Amino acid sequence: MTENDLPATGLGRRSLLGAALGVGALALASCTTEPQLPVASSSGPAPGPSASSTPQPLGRQAAIDRFASRPAGDFGLEVTGVQLGLPDGARGAALTFDACGGGKGNGYDGELLDTLRRHRAPATLFLNQRWARANPTLVTELAADPLFEIANHGSTHQPLASRGQSAYGIPGTGSIAEAYDEVMENQRYLAGEFGIQARFFRCGTAHMDELCAQLTRALGLVPMNFTVNLDAGATFPAGTVATQVRSMGAGDVGIGHFNQPDGHTGEGMAAGLPRLLESLQEQELALLRLSDVRKA
Ligand SMILES: [Zn+2]
């Protein structure tokens, strides 16, 4: 469990699959995903436009001075300060896909991206620096496509922790200094190499502590997780991916992966996306990129 987030027991909150697979009730206990969209987690500063004025980010030493002596707070997928779904009143749902990078994580799921383009389905793509360095031509192509918003998935794909807390056996960053680097090295790389000003951040494994959520916001980024797990780290079979996609509704943010072409995410999206689009249309809702929310 090093190359992708969210192992196979992860399930979206709306799904009946939890009962079917016998893991739903244990989803959180097993470090996976059944986030409940608590008010405290979703009522922080609004995403996108709030960060769009690109204020000068906090410097490294200033971040250490401000945060290093503060308590870490809770660590997990849905801690206070991390946004899970879209803000209240959002007229749609959002698909997000991560590219985690690393030894077995530098692939590209062309079937998935082709499906999104064929259906004109907007999505937000979270890029880890390792993946971006391995796929610079693809990054340029994706950044140039208005269908997609590019976001920051960290530099080394570690949990964002102020005290080294771990998730799935993966140690998190060990200090505010390391957490700062995990966010900002990739942020600066994407900006410097590709002209991308990412507004949203999701760390490797999607686990962070409350203090690091505050740090991320002080750096001008919205810490963004999800409400529906589409592929459990690209491990779900296609039918499960399709069911998860179809389960999405207003305000939901789905997470999948587009760096594992040998998985079934692309096939499942192709099967489930048309029904999701129909369902949203019936409700006069739309698929949105994360930064589109204020425009909806
Ligand atoms: Zn990842």
Residue 5 gets the label, from left (phi > 0), alpha (psi -120 to 50) or beta, of beta
Instruction: Return the higher-pLDDT residue of 244 and 296.
Output: 244
pLDDT over 60 (residue 177): yes
Cα–Cα distance, 85 to 44 (Å, whole number):
11
pLDDT digits (tens, 9 = 90+) for 204-250: 999 999 999 999 999 999 999 999 999 999 999 999 999 999 999 99
Is 11 inside a domain boundary?
Answer: no
What CATH code is carried by the domain that includes residue 77? 3.20.20.370
Give the residue ranges of DSSP H helices in 34-109: 39-42, 60-67
Is 21 inside a domain boundary?
Answer: no
Measured in Å, residue 71 CA sits from the centre of ligand 1 at 26
Is 31 inside a domain boundary?
Answer: no
pLDDT over 80 (residue 8): no
pLDDT at 157: 98
Measured in Å, residue 206 CA sits from the centre of ligand 1 at 7
Is 1 inside a domain boundary?
Answer: no
Measured in Å, residue 72 CA sits from the centre of ligand 1 at 22
Measured in Å, residue 75 CA sits from the centre of ligand 1 at 17
Number of domains in the chain: 1
pLDDT over 90, % of the chain: 79
Could you tell me the pTM of the whole model?
Answer: 0.84
Is 34 inside a domain boundary?
Answer: no
Is 101 inside a domain boundary?
Answer: yes
In this structure, which residues have their CB less than 5 angstroms from ion ligand 1?
A: 5, 98, 100, 204
Cα–Cα distance, 37 to 55 (Å, whole number):
28
Measured in Å, residue 229 CA sits from the centre of ligand 1 at 13
Helix 210-218 and helix 60-67, axial crossing angle in degrees, nearest 10: 140
- How are beta strands 170-171 and 166-167 bridged, if at all? antiparallel
Q: Which domain holds residue 85?
A: 59-295
Is 126 inside a domain boundary?
Answer: yes
pLDDT over 90 (residue 56): no
Measured in Å, residue 50 CA sits from the centre of ligand 1 at 25
Name the nearest CA neighbour of 157 among 9, 261, 5, 33.
5
Is 7 inside a domain boundary?
Answer: no
- 1 pLDDT tier (thresholds 50, 70, 90): very low
